[in-house]
Amino acid sequence: MAPAFDSQTITVLPLLFRPANFIEPSIGNVGRSLIIGGVLVAIVLFFFLLDWRTAFISFASIPLSLLAAVIVLDRYGVWLNTLTLGGFAIAIGVVVDDAIIDVENILRRVRENLTRFQPRPLFEVVLAASLEVRSAVVYATFIVALVFFPILTMTGVQGKLFTPLATAFILALLASLAVALTVTPALCLAMLSRSKPHEEPRYVRWMKERHRRWLNVLSLHPRKLIGVALVMVLAAIATLPFFGGEFLPEFREGHFIIHMAAIPGTSLEESLALGDKVTKELLMNPHIRSVSQQAGRAENGEDTWGTHYSELDVDLKPLSGDEAEGVMGEIRDALAKFPGLTFRVLPFLAERMEETLSGTTAQVVINIFGDDLEVLDEKAGEVRQVLAGIRGAADVQTESIAGSPQMMVKLRPARLTQFGFLPVDVLEGIQTAYQGTDVAQVYEGNRVFDVTVILDEGSRRAPEDIGALLLRNSEGLRMPLHELAEVYPATGRYVVAHEGARRRQQVTCNVAGRDMASFVREMKKQIAAKIAFPPGVYPIFAGSGLVQSVAKRELLLHSAIAGIGIVLLLSIVFGNPRNLLLVLVNLPFALIGGVLAVFATGGSLSLGSLVGFVTLFGITTRNSIMMISHFEHLVKEEGMTWGLEAAIRGASERLLPILMTALVTALGLLPLAIGAGEAGREIEGPMAIVILGGLLTSTVLNLVVLPTLALRYGRFDSKP
């Protein structure tokens, strides 16, 4: 292509608009998060097990599970991208949980077997230890997978974004279950048979001793403990309505689209000249690498913009997340120096999403419907004035502004009759002169060219000469147009928008410096209070603010359906309804940490944060299932009498696997949470932050409060 461009003196700038500038760093950032998370998980495994063999057995589930998931994705034609890699990055700490539970229980039973007077064969010990936790592991894994049902069923843009992530997570999770049920016991049998298992580390014994002491003390004050936990849960729930919200976080793609509009009727040459001035001003910003302008529209293009409209592509230099966050404000400050021009600034990917959601490239859209154009313009002006006064409103614009310069031709019927001109002949003559009429075709080989009759460009560029246009009637009489019609300048519209067979005026804006949810609430409140719409005229709100509420309702509804399925599944695992409720108690424990994490990171709930809460509830349920099921095992299989001794022993024996699964999950998510503002982590970052916070509180309360609640309210005897 280069020689062809050179021969036509066309200069190609390959970096002018290159989506790969966003895609490549995004995949790289998520890939690094995946690798760093895997390394941290390996360190945690070795720290708690202090034995390279058992750590290797547990860690082996990560590559095996991810590889199996990749094979399935490839089989169905799904590519690895930032979303599927993000699903793997979130799952990297979760896929090892099943193996950890299995390995830890096998290791503990092998140690106990060595203390017996007559040790059993290693095969029997490994098989029995694996079967001991198998039921709880299977049900817990299926519950975590079921939690992702609401994410898989999301529709619209949000479904396109989150479905690949959820699919990758579920496939990796199910693969990890298969590995834990087959490969993990086999590796334990093969590797632990060669030498005695390493003794339990001293610091692990110290932690278990401290844990037992705390439980002994806390079991004496169950009401106080329950009261404190209940207050924390109610406080977390009470803060939720005060959080802000947004549909999706801002993508760090390093590219902005600036929509520039002058007064309707501005010529193409003048638009290019204005764009050149704006470009020079923008290039003074050290963070901007290039600016290009596209003015007007293609002759057969789908858009209806006039020559007064331009789009400027602004490409940024490589920046960190914090630096990129402030560039949009700097761009708006630079554009404020050009009065008379209106601008709209959005990242490229966000703009495409907004256009898909509402049909326009803005975050907030108010469509005003009616029949009278004058009334629509009046109400659109009032709405625009209200929007401009709301904190956070940016790039406030009206869709179709009256004032496009026009030359009006009003025929004089009496004069037409007097001189023998037909109205259709006059109109066709004007059309031929200024728009052109095809009169013939010319053939050159197998190519066909239309022959068009039109005035020369110089004559068409002078509007005041329209009245001098000579017209001829059927008898050959020639007369200027101004003798047959009134010709005068006027103002009009370059477009009249319609939707649903009704006339529409549209007011749009973007939101900067505050969350979308609170802005939309304030906007609706002020418009309802300050603007009275006459009969037949009404507003309809659109944009990402409305889509966010729809997506939230959809997610909550599907989560409720999944919740019913989870309760039914738990009822199979735990026949006693009290024990089932004890498992569900961990959900509000997780809510506390998730809410604190959102508050610590700005107090804004995006759709990714809500998906994080859904994911968190599934992950934390696993530890509750393992704790309650072990209590049942001690009573029903080992013959212990349910009481303080059984509760403390069960909690102590589950301390290590619960801590390990929580830590490996948290550290696997840590790189995503720390780099939440970097390219590629915008969606997964808020999810990781919520899950991290929830894991912290749910793990602590699960180890401290849940045994106390089980001691007081649990039923673990063999009788129903």
**Number of residues assigned to the chain:** 720
Looking at the structure, tell me whether residues 386 and 470 fall in a common domain. Answer: no
pLDDT score recorded for residue 115? 76
Number of structural domains, the chain?
3
Looking at the structure, tell me whether residues 362 and 480 fall in a common domain. Answer: no
Looking at the structure, tell me whether residues 389 and 420 fall in a common domain. Answer: no
Distance CA 646, CA 648 (A): 6
Q: Look at residue 564 and tell me if it is in a domain.
A: no
CB distance 376 to 538 below 8 Å: no
Looking at the structure, tell me whether residues 35 and 170 fall in a common domain. Answer: yes
Q: Look at residue 439 and tell me if it is in a domain.
A: yes
Looking at the structure, tell me whether residues 457 and 500 fall in a common domain. Answer: no
Looking at the structure, tell me whether residues 84 and 232 fall in a common domain. Answer: yes
User: What's the domain range around 642?
Assistant: 20-242+574-713
pLDDT score recorded for residue 719? 46
Looking at the structure, tell me whether residues 81 and 132 fall in a common domain. Answer: yes
CB distance 652 to 212 below 8 Å: yes
Looking at the structure, tell me whether residues 46 and 153 fall in a common domain. Answer: yes
Q: Using CB atoms within 10 A of its CB, is residue 647 exposed (0-12), middle (13-18) or buried (19+)?
A: buried
The tens digit of pLDDT for each residue in 505-554 reads 888 888 877 777 778 888 888 888 888 888 888 888 887 767 777 777 77
β-pair type (604-606, 244-246): parallel
DSSP string, 43-69: HHHHHHH--HHHHHHHHTHHHHHHHHH
The distance from CA 441 to its chain's CA centroid, rounded to whole angstroms, is 54
Buried b (16+ CB within 10 A) or exposed e, 385-398: ebbeebebbbbbbb
Q: Using CB atoms within 10 A of its CB, is residue 274 exposed (0-12), middle (13-18) or buried (19+)?
A: buried
Q: Look at residue 440 and tell me if it is in a domain.
A: yes
Looking at the structure, tell me whether residues 357 and 341 fall in a common domain. Answer: yes
Q: Look at residue 627 and tell me if it is in a domain.
A: yes
Q: Look at residue 6 and tell me if it is in a domain.
A: no
Looking at the structure, tell me whether residues 194 and 276 fall in a common domain. Answer: no
Question: What distances in angstroms separate CA 342 from CA 389, 424, 508, 652, one per listed residue?
Answer: 17, 40, 12, 66
pLDDT score recorded for residue 697? 84
Q: Look at residue 560 and tell me if it is in a domain.
A: no
Q: Using CB atoms within 10 A of its CB, is residue 471 exposed (0-12), middle (13-18) or buried (19+)?
A: buried
Q: pTM value?
A: 0.73
Of 492, 511, 537, the one marking the end of a domain is 492
Q: Which residues contact 460 (CB under 8 A, 6 or more apart)?
A: 433, 434, 454
Name residue, tokens 């993000």.
86
The tens digit of pLDDT for each residue in 291-340 reads 888 887 766 666 667 778 888 888 888 776 666 667 878 888 888 888 87
Distance CA 51, CA 47 (A): 8
pLDDT score recorded for residue 501? 78
Looking at the structure, tell me whether residues 352 and 448 fall in a common domain. Answer: no
CATH of the domain at 481: 3.30.2090.10
Residues of the chain with pLDDT under 50: 719-720
Q: Which residues contact 203 (CB under 8 A, 6 or more apart)?
A: none
Phi-psi region at 320: left, alpha or beta (left = phi > 0; alpha = psi -120 to 50): beta
CB distance 481 to 469 below 8 Å: yes
Q: Which residues contact 270 (CB under 8 A, 6 or more apart)?
A: 262
Cα–Cα–Cα angle for 43, 64, 39, nearest 5°?
20
CATH of the domain at 387: 3.30.70.1320
Looking at the structure, tell me whether residues 533 and 606 fall in a common domain. Answer: no
Q: Look at residue 190 and tell me if it is in a domain.
A: yes
CATH of the domain at 652: 1.20.1640.10
Q: Look at residue 14 and tell me if it is in a domain.
A: no
